[in-house]
Amino acid sequence: MAIKVRFRQATVEPAVIPTLRIDVYLISDRPIYVMVLTAEASIQTSNGWISLGEAHCYDHPLFFTISGQREAIASTRFYLELDPFRLERIEQLRGNGDIYLRIKANYCTFDPSESLHLGVNPTVNLESFYIEQEPNSGFKIPKSDWVEQFLPKLGYKKVRLLEIPILEAPTELNELVIHIDEAWEHFSMGNYEEVLTSCRKGLEIIERYLINNGYKKTIEVKGEPKTVADWKAFLGSSVGEDVEKIFDGLKHFTSVGAHAGRVISRAEAEYALMCMHGISSYFLKMIRVSGSTLPS
């Protein structure tokens, strides 16, 4: 049995993950039960419809009640989670214009005269419908509404995405990548002290690599000579001096002893991780550039 769909409105649903809520009326010519099985949201672009992923309908089953003499109506809503990556993609695809979305839902219907109790299999019909205002056009969210009302509530202004490539290193520096991956994993789990520890281990690998390849100098620490990496020899006097200050500062910051007696905060772990990933990416790039000139 075909179901008609009447789009009502799209709003922002308060939730842990920013969520778009789409309210609709479903219309049938008689009372029936409906189960929405799957639903997929798409956005219209110059190249056609592009999927935004799964949408959800949590009303199961829907029962159509008689409204007037000719229609049976059910009211329901669909939810589309919009994490920062989806929001960023939508912003790229809408091209500074209005947004046109649609949802395709696959559903089954069965007659209310048939039992819904466990152990009894009603006769079901599998079909699909689109949530849109006009055929093949989706439903429109005007640019002004999207920018002024939706994006702030979805938290878009609070999040900016930075594309951070997965690091690739020569075999002798694989351990550096392993420690950075560990730091990301610890950060995602909230183990912020371990983030600093993993970053510190990665810095030690970088320094050891430079020393072993001849980029080294001797400094005095508490009256004792100590061999350290010479970034000026590796990168040149101007850039090397700046990077060395960052590197030495990060070594001190990631030393757990520097934070003795207090809990490491998320902000501190994030700072260490961002700096560590950045300096490692730069270091590996310069290794590739100067690889032919490294001492054997």
Q: Which of 256, 277, 296, 269 is CA-nearest to residue 203? A: 277
Q: How far apart are CA 224 and CA 212, in angstroms?
A: 20
Task: Spell out the residues 6+ positions from residue 85 whose beta carbon is closer than 8 angstroms to its own.
Answer: 161
Measured torsion, CA atoms of residues 60, 61, 62, 64, in degrees rounded to the nearest 10: -170
Pair 228, 131 in one domain: no
pLDDT at 274: 95
Tell me whether residue 276 is in a domain: yes
pLDDT at 258: 62
pLDDT at 46: 87
Pair 154, 222 in one domain: no
- Of residues 133 and 124, the one with the higher pLDDT is 133
Query: Which tens digit of pLDDT belongs to each residue from 194-245?
Result: 999 999 999 999 999 999 999 999 999 888 999 999 999 999 888 999 999 9
Measured torsion, CA atoms of residues 5, 8, 9, 10, in degrees rounded to the nearest 10: -20
Q: How far apart are CA 197 and CA 208, in angstroms?
A: 17
Contact 132, 139 (CB under 8 A): yes
Pair 87, 177 in one domain: no
Range of the domain at 283: 171-293
The two structure tokens encoding residue 275: 């700096």
DSSP H helices in the chain:
84-94, 143-145, 151-153, 174-189, 192-212, 231-235, 237-253, 266-290
pLDDT > 60? residue 115: no
The two structure tokens encoding residue 136: 């093949």
Among 127, 158, 189, the domain-final residue is 158
pLDDT at 296: 41
Pick from 1-5, 157-161, 200-204: least confident: 157-161
Q: Which of 202, 186, 163 is CA-nearest to residue 284? A: 202
What's the whole-model pTM score?
0.59
pLDDT band at 295 (very low <50, low <70, confident <90, very high): very low
Pair 87, 138 in one domain: yes
Pair 74, 36 in one domain: yes
**Average model confidence (pLDDT) across the chain:** 86
- Of residues 109 and 159, the one with the higher pLDDT is 109
pLDDT at 226: 92
Pair 114, 198 in one domain: no
Tell me whether residue 35 is in a domain: yes
The two structure tokens encoding residue 16: 């842990």
Pair 152, 46 in one domain: yes
pLDDT at 166: 84
pLDDT > 70? residue 62: yes
Pair 17, 131 in one domain: yes
3-state secondary structure of 236: coil
Contact 131, 5 (CB under 8 A): yes
CA distance between the termini of the chain: 76
Measured torsion, CA atoms of residues 215, 218, 221, 226, in degrees rounded to the nearest 10: 70
**Mean pLDDT on 46-75:** 82
What percent of the chain stands above pLDDT 90?
Answer: 52
pLDDT at 139: 95
Pair 42, 126 in one domain: yes
Pair 64, 194 in one domain: no
pLDDT at 121: 58
**Mean pLDDT on 91-118:** 80
Tell me whether residue 166 is in a domain: no
pLDDT > 80? residue 24: yes
- Which amino acid does the sequence have at 105? A
Pair 104, 78 in one domain: yes
Pair 84, 144 in one domain: yes
Counting the structural domains of the chain, the total is 2
pLDDT at 271: 95
Tell me whether residue 165 is in a domain: no
Tell me whether residue 147 is in a domain: yes
CATH of the domain at 31: 2.60.40
Pick from 104-113, 166-175, 187-196, 273-282: least confident: 104-113
* 185 Rama class: left (phi>0) / alpha (psi -120 to 50) / beta: alpha
